[in-house]
Amino acid sequence: MLKQMINQKQLYIVCCFFILSSVLGILFPQDWAGWLVCGISFYVILLIPEIKTDKKLFVICLLVLLAHHVVSVMNAHFIPVYGASLDAVSFHKKALEVAKTSIFLKGIGAPFFTNLLGIAYKLNPSQFFGQELTILAFTFFLVFLTKLMDLLELKRGKVLVIAILGFMPHIFLWTSVILREAYQILFLCAGIYFGLLYKIHQKKFFYLIMSVLALTMFGLLHRALIFYAPFLFLLMMIWPFSKKKRTFTYWLTYLLIAAGLCALFLIFLLHTDARIIVSDMVRKMIMTFSQYRESTLVEYSGYSTYFVPINPTNTIGLIYSIFNVWLYYLFSCVVTQVSFWFIVYVFLNVLLRILLIFFIIGSFFKKQFVKFHRTYLFLFIVYLSLTLLWAIGVANYGTALRHQITTEWIIIMLGIPFILNFLKILAMKVN
């Protein structure tokens, strides 16, 4: 009876928000599609059993969405919020042009995102509509994150994880305006969730297809991610998530894959022209990253920039410099003079990151987490490899924060339950 009353209250609350957004859509017809999406986002969380059956989780999701919508209204109709200039304005203006002329931009990454936004703008060319689509993407991310935590039995601290991701300032602001990050974390989380469903639970072809589609969309949203997405999918397919006894077919499949890769590698070694071409491509790619990082020093001068050069002249120098760049990307503010409030925020963010990583690594040595030990390790490797990719092309704290949105949810999802478990054990020992 109590559960039914809670569900009725939830329904009343969502209906109130939906009716309010519908009325506002009528009063402000230039943004009607945006207000419609606003109402839909509240309704989405009511459809998810994992959210609506948990009163605290439902309330925190409701508050997170409400706060995002407030920022969206402010940015579209009152004052621009922090971080809603440059890229966000550029995406909006170019999408309006695409919607008006039906001339689509060529390329992946920013052009691909602009084209998708332009198609949506054919329905309602409104900045508020574009922002609400971003918030809807973030809403679905919260849905998949909740499902992923249940799948991995990380139920402890689920409300706190959603609260941190929903209200952490840079995530909060940049997932409320027209930027790609909300879509990137949605498709990354969905791709991993469906991939794990396929690998760990039910080997249904539907889950595999959904994982491929989600990771494809993830890759198309950024030029660097188009190379990372296939790597992630391959890693997920060959990763030993459990200690189950492998069948002959299993080992034969991966033996054939390994043989094929070895054959391609041997052909590459024996074919001088191919080796020279690929080596030249790698060298040019590293030089491009290095030049891009140098250009950010001119474009974003001041306290928010840092520069660690990439040395492409020899293999050892290249490996060392990339590792150094990676450390700066993750932890540089710890050893950087704090002289501006933005760097102070980055400093606190780095401290949280260190704490989360420390507890995640520590969890690998705890027996109570042995069931999903391999899965947690897989997710941690995804975090490390994706941050390494971003680090190579970044030399600015602001840009780094935006890229970290795509990865930070992983260590927050893994680390917070372990921290809470540690505090519980500590409290028991004290008492």
In a domain, 138, yes or no: yes
Give 263's contacts (C-beta < 8 A, 6+ positions apart).
none
In a domain, 160, yes or no: yes
How far is the C-alpha of 34 from the C-alpha of 152, rounded, in Å?
35
> Phi and psi at residue 373, in whole multiples of 5°?
-55, -45
State which of 161, 179, 197 marks the end of a domain: 179
Tokens of 219: 């890759």
Most confident residue range from 216-230, 277-291, 333-347: 216-230
- Cα 103 to Cα 94, 97, 106, 220, distances in angstroms: 11, 8, 10, 19
In a domain, 25, yes or no: yes
In a domain, 255, yes or no: no
Predicted TM-score (pTM) of this structure: 0.85
State which of 179, 198, 215 marks the end of a domain: 179
299 and 150 part of one domain: no
In a domain, 170, yes or no: yes
294 and 146 part of one domain: no
How far is the C-alpha of 356 from the C-alpha of 350, rounded, in Å?
10
State which of 179, 207, 234 marks the end of a domain: 179
In a domain, 193, yes or no: no
Which pLDDT score is estimated for 25?
A: 67
In a domain, 424, yes or no: yes
In a domain, 11, yes or no: yes
Tokens of 127: 């900045």
169 and 294 part of one domain: no
292 and 394 part of one domain: yes
Instruction: Give the residue with greater pLDDT, 241 vs 105.
Output: 105
43 and 167 part of one domain: yes
Domain range enclosing 123:
1-179
Which residues on adjacent β-strands are paired with residue 396?
305
Encode pLDDT of 39-57 as tens digits.
Answer: 888 888 888 888 888 888 9
Residue 86 has pLDDT above 70, yes or no: yes
> Phi and psi at residue 422, in whole multiples of 5°?
-65, -45
276 and 165 part of one domain: no
Tokens of 189: 């989380």
Encode pLDDT of 294-332 as tens digits.
Answer: 555 445 444 455 566 666 666 677 777 777 777 777 776
How far is the C-alpha of 29 from the C-alpha of 386, rounded, in Å?
42
168 and 293 part of one domain: no
Residue 261: pLDDT band with limits 50, 70, 90: low
Q: How many domains does the chain have?
A: 2
- Cα 295 to Cα 79, 290, 344, distances in angstroms: 30, 9, 24
